[in-house]
Amino acid sequence: MMETDSKNRRLEIGGTSLRVRTPLGNPFDVALGSCEVSCHFPGMPNPMNRSFFTAILLVGWLSASLHSSKADPRPGSPLFRFGAVADCQYCEKTSGKRKYNLSPKKLTACVEHYNKLELSFVVHLGDFIDRDFESFDKVVPIYNRLKAPHYHVLGNHDFEVADDKKALVPAKLGLKERYYDFTRKGWRFIAIDGNDVSLYAWPKNDPRTKAASEYHKSLNPRPARWNGAVGDEQLKWIEAKLQAAAKAKERVMLFCHFPVYPKNGHNLWNDNALTSLLARYPCVAAYVNGHNHAGNYGQRDGIHYLTLKGMVDTEESSYSIIEVYPDRLVVKGFGRETNRDLPLSKRP
């Protein structure tokens, strides 16, 4: 007969009993921490025999526990987890708050941490560099040491390079497309390009730069020049992906460099167009971005809008692991990043 609970394990065989108490209610704690073993062996007065038999039972119990934990995850385990980083923003400079030249060291520590975990993927949310195309050569190899699949989202500072290098930026980051999507275990992740309409992502004499300038002048109040907008063609593409997700009964999370909510000076020029679109699709659960290094959070229309803090700011790093559960998202912050528990609405 065997009786177990979350903090005590008891094996009873005839008149012999073995109890192992693990303080954290986890079979791994026996190997890692303290345990209490109490045994009763009628007719077996020899302490050596008792110790040997106790060890046999303990090894067998641990083996069974470890095997079952791999085969059947404990109730309450996440469906999957992934790493999310914003604004590494490396260059060989420094300032009072932005420690650009410390970013390789911070990124290396982050990658080493991520590589110790089972992550479904890692995403960097834009501004991988601060300026100069050559800066990519310092941080791209570090990021590519990740064991998990890893993705990039394009940021405004990624295009702070010479005009003849701007078109090379996506490929330098390993991107085949400037915006794209992928799926994991009932979730669709949509990575969008907020530099689509901007004053910096295209060469100075490019027609797209001129069109962006005219659009920017038409806005009142006039937004920051270092923000951008999602173009009409991309908005149509996003809606098509939302429709596909709804049909497949998938939840959706969007990644962008720029925030769209709450209202903030860092937001996309056409933030209202995007939030209005997302509000029409109950499958949308979250929108995660960088750009505003201070971080931010808001909820609207059942959607979590999360701005992660910038890794580049201060001498302390900032990054996160996001755990995906059926009923919530759990943001585990490291360094300056904030821990959050974000409940999910029921699937429509």
- Using one digit for the tens of pLDDT, what is the confidence trace for 140-158? 999 999 999 999 999 999 9
Does the pLDDT at position 89 exceed 70?
A: yes
- Strands 251-256, 187-191: pairing kind: parallel
Average pLDDT, integer, range 240-258 = 98
Q: Which two tokens stand for residue 147?
A: 């064991």
Mean pLDDT of 35-39: 36
**Average pLDDT for residues 33-40, to the nearest whole number?**
36
Tell me the average pLDDT across 286-292: 98
Answer whether residue 319 shows pLDDT above 70.
yes
3-class secondary structure, 226: coil
The CATH code that applies to domain 80-343 is 3.60.21.10
pLDDT above 70: residue 197: yes
Predicted pLDDT of residue 38: 36
DSSP 15: T
**Residue range 268-297: average pLDDT?**
98
Report, as an integer, the average pLDDT of 41-67. 44
Average pLDDT, the chain: 85
Contact assessment for residue 308 and residue 329, using Cβ atoms and an 8 Å cutoff: no
Distance CA 287, CA 342 (A): 12
User: How open is the CA angle 298-287-83, to the nearest 5 degrees?
Assistant: 110
What local confidence, expressed as pLDDT, does residue 76 receive?
Answer: 84
**Is a pLDDT exceeding 60 seen at residue 36?**
no
pLDDT of residue 348: 62
Report pLDDT for 298.
Answer: 98
> What are the residues whose beta carbons fall under 8 Å from the beta carbon of 123, sequence distance 6 or more?
82, 83, 84, 85, 150, 151, 152, 153, 189, 191, 255
Q: Which of 46-50, 277-281, 291-295, 339-343 has the lowest mean pLDDT?
A: 46-50
Q: What's the pLDDT at 297? A: 98
Of 30-39, 102-111, 206-215, 305-314, the range with the lowest mean pLDDT is: 30-39
- Whose tokens are 């390993």? That residue is 174
Domain spans of the chain, in order of start: 2-71, 80-343
Cα distances (Å, whole numbers) of residue 25 to 8, 30, 125, 129: 7, 10, 37, 44
Of the chain, the percentage scoring pLDDT greater than 90 comes to 76
pLDDT of 15 reads 40
Q: Residue 210 in 3-state DSSP?
A: helix
Condensed to tens digits (0 to 9), the pLDDT of residues 14-23 reads 443 333 333 3
- List the one residue out of 133, 136, 259, 140 whose CA is nearest residue 192: 259
Q: Average the pLDDT over 79-107 and give the result.
A: 97
User: Token pair for residue 9?
Assistant: 């394990």
Give pLDDT, residue 224.
Answer: 97
Q: What is the mean pLDDT of residues 159-179?
A: 98
Q: Does the structure show a pLDDT above 60 at 333?
A: yes
In 3D, which of 314, 195, 187, 202 has the Cα closest to residue 254?
Answer: 187
Asked if residues 97 and 135 have their Cβ atoms less than 8 Å apart, the reply is: no
